[in-house]
Amino acid sequence: MAAVLAGVRAVAHRLVVPALAVLAWYVIAKRELVSPVFLPTPGGVLAAARDMWRADTLGEATRYTLGSALSGWIIACVLGVVVAIVITRNRFLVDALAPPLDFVRSLPAAALIPPATLLFGFGRAMEIPVVVLGAIWPVLLNATQGLLETEPQLHDVARSIRLSRLRRVYSIELPAALPAILLGVRTALSVAVIVAVVAEMVGSSGGLGYELILASQRFQSGEVYALVFLLGAIGVAANALVHALERRIVSRPGSLSTTTDSDN
Amino acid sequence: MTVGKGARAASVALVVVVLGAWEVVVRAGWISFETIPTPSATVRAWSHIAANGQLAGPVLHTLQFFMISFLLAAVAGIVLGMMIGLNKRCYSYLHASLEFLRFVPPPAIIPLVLLVSGFTDRSEILIAAFASLWPVLLNTAKGVSVIDPQLRDAGHALCLSRTQLLVKLVMPAALPLIVVGLRLALSLCLIIVITTEIVAIRQGIGFALVSASSALQPATVYAYLVTVGVLGTVVNVAFRLLERRVLLRGWSTS
pLDDT above 60: residue B173: yes
Decide: B130 and B77 in contact? Cβ < 8 Å.
no
Nearest chain B residue to A108 by CA distance is B191
Q: What confidence score (pLDDT) does residue A256 get?
A: 44
Computed over every residue of chain B, the mean pLDDT equals 84
* Between A58 and B246, residue with greater pLDDT: A58
Q: Does residue B149 lie in a domain region?
A: yes
Find the residue in A nearest to B183 (Cα).
A264
State the pLDDT at residue A177. 86
State the 10-residue block means of pLDDT for chain A, 264 residues long.
78 82 87 81 90 89 93 96 90 85 86 89 89 93 87 75 77 84 90 91 87 87 89 86 82 46 35
Kindly state whether residue B124 falls inside one of the protein's structural domains.
yes
Residue with the bigger pLDDT between A147 and B153: it is: A147
- Nearest alpha-carbon partner for A195 in A69, A52, A17: A69
Picking from B87, B94, B115 by the largest number of A CB atoms within 10 A of its own CB, the best residue to mutate is B115
Chain A (173-202) residues lying within 8 Å, Cβ to Cβ, of chain B: 190, 193-194, 197-198, 201-202
Quote the domain boundaries for residue B178: 80-254
At residue B247 the predicted structure's pLDDT band, cuts being 50, 70 and 90, is low
Cβ-nearest to B209 among A96, A97, A111: A111
Q: Are B167 and B144 in contact (CB under 8 A)?
A: no
**Short-list B130, B111, B104, CA closest to A222:** B111
Cβ contact A179:A260 at 8 Å: yes
Q: Does A108 touch chain B (CB under 8 A)?
A: yes
Mean pLDDT value across residues B231-236:
90
Q: Which of B36, B116, B195 minimises the CB distance to A108? A: B195
Q: Whole-angstrom Cα distance, residue B212 to residue B218?
A: 7
Instruction: Compute the C-alpha angle B60/A198/B216, nearest 5°.
Output: 65
Predicted pLDDT at B47: 92
Task: Tell me what pLDDT residue A17 has.
Answer: 83
> Do A79 and A132 meet the contact criterion of CB atoms below 8 Å apart?
yes
Q: What are the backbone dihedrals phi and psi of residue A167, each rounded to the nearest 5 degrees, phi first?
A: -60, -35
- The closest of A109, A237, A131 to B188, measured between CA atoms, is A109
Q: What pLDDT does residue B253 have? A: 47
Higher pLDDT, B89 or B135: B135
Q: Is A197's CB within 8 Å of B105's CB?
A: yes
Q: What is the pLDDT of residue A259?
A: 39
Whether residues A235 and B103 touch (CB distance < 8 A) is answered with yes
Report whether B237 contacts B158 (CB < 8 A).
no
Integer-rounded Cα Rg, in Å, for chain A is 23
| Concatenated DSSP letters of A54-68 | HTTHHHHHHHHHHHH
What gap in Å lies between CA A102 and CA A111, rounded to an integer? 15
Provide the CATH number for the domain around residue B163. 1.10.3720.10
Contact A227 B35 (CB under 8 A): no
* Model confidence pLDDT, tens digit, residues B58-110: 999 999 999 999 999 999 999 999 888 888 888 888 887 887 777 777 888 88
* CA nearest to A200, candidates A134, A262, A260, A110: A110
Q: Does B209 reside within a domain?
A: yes
d(CA A181, CA A139): 6
What domain count does chain B have?
1
CA angle B131, B132, B135 (to 5 degrees): 115
Please report whether residue B164 resides in a domain. Answer: yes
Which positions ≥6 away from A70 have C-beta within 8 Å?
A: A192
**A68: Cα separation from own chain's centroid:** 12
Instruction: Compute the nearest-CA separation of A69 from chain B (Å).
Output: 13
Are B192 and B131 spatial neighbours (Cβ–Cβ below 8 Å)? yes
Whether B188 is in a domain gets the answer yes
Out of B101, B195, B225, name the one closest to residue A115 (CB): B225
Residue B148 lies in a domain: yes
Of residues A82 and B243, more confidently modeled: A82
Please check whether residue B4 lies inside any domain of the structure.
Answer: no
> Using one digit for the tens of pLDDT, what is the confidence trace for B19-58?
988 888 887 777 767 778 888 889 999 999 989 888 899 9
Give residue A263's pLDDT: 35
pLDDT at position B249 over 90: no
Mutant choice from B8, B189, B199 vs A, greatest count of A C-beta within 10 A: B199
Looking at residue B250, its pLDDT comes to 53
A98 chain-B contacts, CB cut-off 8 A: 1, 3, 7, 11
Task: Give Cβ neighbours of residue A1 (< 8 Å, ≥ 6 apart).
Answer: none
Helix, strand, coil shares, percent, chain A, to 5: 80, 0, 20
Inform me whether the pLDDT recorded for B159 exceeds 80: no
| pLDDT mean over B123-151 | 86
B217 is a domain residue: yes
- What three-state secondary structure class fits B45? helix
pTM, full prediction: 0.84
